[in-house]
């Protein structure tokens, strides 16, 4: 989705076994330009710059999960065709498990 303004909605369902002793972080990797994350219907916040990382521990379920990421590109892409910024979710997207304590 190079050089678009957006917004674009990405959705993914996934299975996960949750360990209560762990903290889970969603890392979107590279994003152009800003992103809003929802997990299982719960909005987890917006990020305007890196790191594009959210603590998803409280929203994460054991079993089926529904992730929605809305990415909006820079308005600068509408005004300067020669200096377009990458837009969209470039990733890599990953879930990191760390010790809660």
What residue ranges do the domains of the chain occupy?
A: 8-77+84-93
pLDDT of residue 81: 59
The beta-strand segments (E) located in the chain are 8-16, 22-27, 30-32, 34-39, 42-47, 53-55, 63-72, 88-91, 94-99
Has this prediction a pTM greater than 0.75? yes
Residues of the chain with pLDDT under 50: 1-3, 77
The two tokens of residue 98 are: 């760390």
CATH architecture of 8-77+84-93: Sandwich (2.60)
């Amino acid at each position: 989705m190079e050089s678009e303004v957006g917004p674009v909605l990405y959705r993914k369902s996934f299975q996960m076994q949750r360990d209560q002793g762990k903290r889970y972080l969603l890392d979107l990797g590279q994003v152009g330009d800003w992103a809003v994350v929802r997990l299982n219907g719960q909005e987890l916040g917006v990020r305007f710059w890196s790191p594009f990382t959210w603590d998803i521990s409280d929203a994460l379920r054991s079993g089926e999960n529904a992730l929605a990421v809305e990415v909006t590109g820079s308005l600068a892409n509408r005004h300067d065709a020669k200096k377009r910024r990458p837009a969209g979710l470039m990733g890599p997207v990953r879930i990191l498990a760390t010790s809660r304590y």
